[in-house]
Structure 1
Amino acid sequence: MTESQSALATAAAEEVVQDQVRRLTEEVLNSMKSAFVGKDEIIDVLGVCLIAGENMFLMGPPGTAKSALVHELAARLHGRSFDYLLTRFTEPNELFGPFDIRRLRDGELVTNKEGMLPEADLVFLDELLNANSAVLNSLLMVLNERVFRRGRETIQLPMLIAIGASNHLPEDETLQALFDRFLLRVPCRNVAQEQLQDVLMAGWSLDAKKRRPQQEHSRISVEDIRALQGLAGEVDLAGVRRPYVELIQRLRHAGAPISDRRAVKLQRLMAASALICGRTAAVPSDLWVLRYTWDSEEQQEILSSLVQDAIQRCGVSEQSHPRVNSNSAPDPEAIARDLERIEARLTEGVRDSDKAYARDQLGVLAGRCEWISSTQSREFLTGRVRKLLEQLRDAL
């Protein structure tokens, strides 16, 4: 093949990729945003996790459309979904299927996986953190390697993505390994009061659509997503590697326990962000995905600030993901909650190492306060930060 023929083939391949990404964005993600009011952030992160082939965790109360999002995504991709509400008494058979009784009579241990998790393209596990040790051991390999093993049986899973959900974060140390398998974490709350009417209208329309005999489906399929997942590994990350390493170090210093394993896997999410933007090379603005690597609620605002600062230092390109600037404005209520947690921790009495961490947190929050538009809120929160810093200095 000549050089010109190779260039033409590459251009044709890129055109196919851009067409698939455009169909995913327009026919699936944007369409879902219209159907699910107030869930734009979740759907954007879901799209990136889907192309990256990485799992996602939603934290929020029941009734906030978590499972509905997964079912709707599966329907639009012509795929199979599986969802289950975990309890402390859930057994592996309830997720992966029982042994086939007919084969068992012949002495063979074969799983009857029809309609169960091993056949699903998209998996939703509600109340994930209720998993007991029996389920936990099975899930760890499933989530990490897409493989289910039982006795001599090894099943390769077609699962594109697993989404876990809970209304709280892990309290038991044994669940930390399971939680760690969900690379990005997103809050899922009830919508604001002023959006309630829009939610009612959208919910009514979505319910009516499900009851129609024939529904319109997107032209993108599960197999197209698998192809995009393969292409994510070919995205050039050279242009983002240095700011990425620096940001990982800053996030670790701020208390986000990003292990080397997670740091490696997060690269696929930056690559997926680049693909969604129609690029074959990552740029610093693709670092936005690291906002969602928090382990606790108090880290959310801190990490968002550090990530945004890293992006602004490098500059925002024209082909940036729309989520890059969506969280740039600080939330006064979130800052107030973070200050309350820090104040409570200082009141209880903390070690010197924790005091240094609290001082760093307050420094970041002080910077965020400067960007609050309301003068009253800005002055009130800045005063609280100043008072806590003085309290810290007296304690040191």
Structure 2
Amino acid sequence: MGAQDAQDAQETAKRLRAIVDELSDRFYERADVLRTLLVTLLAGQHSLVLGPPGTAKSEMARELTARFDGAAYWEILLSKFTAPTKIFGPIDVAALARGEYRQVYDGRATTAHVAFIDEIFKCSTAALNETLGYLNERIYHPESGGEPIRCPLIGAITASNELPGGEDSAAIYDRLLVRIEVGYLESPSNFAALVRSAVNRPAPTARTTVDLAALQHAVTEAVPTVDVPDTIVDALCTLRAALRRKELVASDRRWRQAVGLLQASAYLEGRPAVADTDLSVLTHVLWNSPAERPTVEREVLHLVNPDAKEALDLADAIEELEAQLDAMAGQSREALSDWAIKKAHIKLATAGKRLEKLREEATVAGRSTAAIDRITGRQRAVRARVLTEALGVDANMVQAQI
């Protein structure tokens, strides 16, 4: 890469980081999700956002793509009745009246640079093969036959409320390299800010954009040139062995594609080589079911992020306290208050202070704070439950203490 190309790549990466920061201010508790979606696009791969309705899945995809000047965006909500022509291009009725059979591709998946496909696992049997070809090879075979159409797709962001249930949808699931779980807001303060934003619209903030050509150059030229040191290869070998001992096995193809994600993560941070901190993105790659994700996350973060490792240990203690609170449902106010004052409140306050310290240490060291932030959200949510359900503290007072 020449000096000018390197300078341009640095500027593009800087602008992309600014986009993530700006959108993170708008979408509460979604900083890691937004960064991961962008890293996935930079690697030329596809992502799955898995979570219940009303968690801003489609809105994030739209807002992220809107920051790419010149990029064509297309979205669809699939059902088991969705015909391939609705995805890739309807029949031209006017041409059909003249005896010509052709499709209209403008504004469909065939012309999109970024696609958002909601309820991806409801893809109809009729559209399955074409959808797989579209995701795998970026091609579409026209209804009338002839040469396949090359699609300009950089990457697809897909979404679902549930995991696939059959063989057909499992084939699509396997092609989605990155899998991100999202839930409803955890932090009471973020929930309060969300409610306020519905009444008092925030003032417009900075709106950084990146030209489509710069994004495409990053995907095809800059990201693939990021160096992968031997130390990273060794770390991947160590991680693979650790996961196999837990009976978590990913395909060779998935591991190979994951290298591109590591390169994209390093590029986004303006680095010429992959570093240990980039391995954190693998927490979204190496699991098949959500039940496996915590194990994968723990193994990855044990390897690369000592402060996140301690945060995960604190998370276990926080979840245990919430389970105890659930088990005490129906007990007297005196019993609940005694438990909250002597045990839960102290432990949660101590965990909160330690998480705050861990975040400071991670920030100074330049490590990802995504796991710590997520666990901090859980700590605040559980603490709010303890204060309200066990001590009867007013919600406004809970907010003030948090």
TM (norm. structure 1) is 0.73
From 253, 259, 263, give the equivalent of 1:261: 253
Spell out, residue by residue over 1:45-97, the C-alpha distance to the aligned partner (whole angstroms, 9 max, x if none).
Answer: 11211211111101111111111111111211122221111111111111111
Distance 1:21 1:90, change over 3 A: same
Q: In 2, Cα distance between the equivalents of 1:63 and 1:258? A: 31
Partner of 1:226: 216
Q: What is the match of residue 278 of structure 2? A: 286
Deviation at 1:10, TM superposition (A): 3.4
Letter in 2 for 1:301: P
Structure 1: distance between partners of 2:81 and 2:163:
19
Residues 88 and 108, structure 2, Cα contact 8 Å, conserved in 1: yes
Aligned-partner Cα distance in 2 for 1:291–1:284: 13
TM-score calculated relative to the size of structure 2:
0.72
Letter in 1 for 2:30: K
Q: Distance in 2 between matches of 1:32 and 1:282?
A: 25
SS at match of 1:57: strand
**Structure-2 change in CA distance of 1:125 and 1:205 (3 Å):** farther
Moved more, 147-156 or 112-121: 147-156
| 1:238 aligned partner | 229
The one-character-per-residue Cα deviations of 1:204-233 (angstroms, maximum 9, x if unpaired) are 677986xxxxx9753412221111112111
Give the letter for the 1:222 counterpart. L
Tell me the amino acid that sits aligned with residue 303 of structure 1: V
Amino acid paired to 1:161? G
Pair 1:305-2:289 in alignment? no
In 2, Cα distance between equivalents of 1:139 and 1:208: 40
- Kept in 1: contact 2:22–2:206 (CA 8 A): no
Q: Which residue of 2 aligns with 1:197?
A: 192
What pairs with 1:1-396 in structure 2 (closer than 5 Å)? 10-26=2-18, 28-78=19-69, 79-104=71-96, 109-150=101-142, 151-192=145-186, 193-202=188-197, 217-230=207-220, 231-239=222-230, 240-293=232-285, 294-312=287-305, 325=308, 328-330=311-313, 331-332=315-316, 373=351
| Shift in Å, 1:287 | 1.4
Q: Is the 8 A contact 2:87 2:108 kept in 1?
A: yes
SS in structure 2 opposite 1:125? Answer: strand
CA distance in 1, matches of 2:160, 2:297: 22
d(CA) in 2 for partners of 1:301, 1:73: 27
Aligned pair in 2 of structure 1 residues 305, 335: CA closer, same or farther (>3 Å)? farther
AA paired with 2:8? Answer: V
Task: Determine helix, strand or coil for the equivalent of 2:163.
Answer: coil
Cα distance in 2 for residues equivalent to 1:119 and 1:198: 38
Give the C-alpha shift of residue 285 in structure 1. 2.4
Tell me the secondary structure at the aligned position of residue 233 of structure 1.
helix
Aligned residues: CA RMSD: 2.9
* Percent of residue pairs bearing the same amino acid type: 28
| Residue range with higher mean Cα deviation, 91-100 or 176-185 | 91-100
State the distance in 1 between where 2:128 and 2:318 align: 33
CA distance in 2: counterparts of 1:175 and 1:190, whole angstroms: 25
Query: Could you say if the C-alpha distance between residues 208 and 96 of structure 1 is closer, same or farther in structure 2, counting changes exceeding 3 Å?
Result: farther
User: Residues 206 and 126 of structure 1: is their aligned pair in 2 closer, same or farther, counting only changes over 3 Å?
Assistant: farther
Q: Distance in 2 between matches of 1:196 and 1:154?
A: 48
Gaps of 5+ in 2: 324-349, 353-402
Comparing 191-200 and 272-281, the one that deviates more: 191-200
